[in-house]
Amino acid sequence: MQTIAVLGASGVYARWLMPRLTNAGYKVRALVRRPDAAGVARACGADIRVADIFDEASLVAGLEGCDVGINIATSLPGPSGRGSYDENDRIRRDGTPIWINACRKAGVTRIIQQSIAMLSASNSDAWSDEDTTFTGGDSVTGRAYDASIAMEDAVRASDLDWIILRGALFYGPGTGFDDDWFERARAGKLRLPDDGSAYVSLLHISDMAAATLAALKHWPSRQTLIIADDEPALWRDVLGYVADIANAPAPQPGGRASFPSFRVSNARAKAALSWSPFYTNYRMGLAR
């Protein structure tokens, strides 16, 4: 029985992933900064260890005896109010090399790294894939892009056996995104990013967890894969659908565009992982 270490095991991604790992027969090692926030890990029977991505010694101790390390540590701002984009960039840029070195010292030779599908954005209505390189963007997007590229570069430069999973924009229970959309729609405050004509590639958080489990099973060694739903959509269609379900007025243009237009293909992941998203489009995933 393999032991899988999950760094960032108190986050929403981990809360969907760990029950799947346990049910698939893996032993789970949950690496967390705050044991009090590891309720799902505890319920899954995981071995909980205190570790921090910036503390190599704690990582090495937590990783010892594990077969695979999954790094899904983030610090994105969420419903709880914790986290910041600056700290998230630091985790990706500065923390990832520490994580990789700790895995090496602990004898963990296989790693899965969470990344973002925005790195494959065409910034237009054109389809894009893992070979597409995003260029441009405002200062916030640019910083996130640079930090994520540095993260991926560190993984690829290592002598470990790695997989990088570039997740599309997460939504679903616990992510906060769709709850915020519905709340603003009901308050009459939902706005389209610019005029709503940009594409967004979405992914239900449960489908990211399922894809991660499939990556463990099939192990497409040293591949970077986009994990997204089948039907990228225009922001005006996505948020218009939210407003319709909420019986709210149609969202008006003029909101801030936080992401480049990205219409990414999941074809490579579907072939490599024998995986398909359960929620193939936003209409299925957002229906209430």
Residue 150 is predicted with a pLDDT of: 96
The model's pLDDT over 5-43, given as tens digits with 9 standing for 90+, comes to: 999 999 999 999 999 999 999 999 999 999 998 999 999
Say what the alpha-carbon torsion angle 150, 108, 276, 232 is, to the nearest 10 degrees.
-10
| CA atoms of 247 and 204, how far apart (whole Å) | 23
Instruction: Report helix, strand or coil for 165.
Output: strand
Q: What are phi and psi of 173, to 5 degrees?
A: -55, 125
CB neighbours of 36 closer than 8 A, spacing ≥ 6?
Answer: none
DSSP 185-232: HHTT--EEEBTS-SEE-EEEHHHHHHHHHHHHHH--TTEEEEE--S--
Domains of the chain: 3-170+205-228+263-277 (3.40.50.720)
Nearest-5° Cα angle at 286, 30 to 281: 90
CA distances from 43 to 15, 37, 47, 174 (A): 10, 12, 10, 17
Query: Residue 252 CA to chain centroid, in angstroms?
Result: 28
More confident residue, 166 or 142: 166
The model's pLDDT over 162-177, given as tens digits with 9 standing for 90+, comes to: 999 999 999 999 998 8
Nearest-5° Cα angle at 271, 265 to 274: 120
* pLDDT at position 258 over 90: no
Residue at token pair 């963007």: 137
| CA atoms of 140 and 126, how far apart (whole Å) | 23
Q: In percent, how much of the chain has pLDDT > 70?
A: 95
- Measured over the CA atoms of residue 42, residue 44, residue 47 and residue 52, the dihedral's sign is negative
Taking residue 42's Cβ as centre, other Cβ atoms within 10 Å add up to 13
* pLDDT at position 78 over 70: no
Structure tokens at 66: 């594990």
Query: Residue 134 CA to chain centroid, in angstroms?
Result: 18
- In the chain, count H helices and then E strands: 11, 15
- Measured over the CA atoms of residue 74, residue 226, residue 230 and residue 18, the dihedral's sign is negative
| CA atoms of 19 and 61, how far apart (whole Å) | 23
Residue type, 48: I
| CA atoms of 240 and 258, how far apart (whole Å) | 18
pTM listed for this prediction: 0.96
Residue 39: in which H helix or E strand, if any?
helix 39-43
* pLDDT at position 81 over 60: no
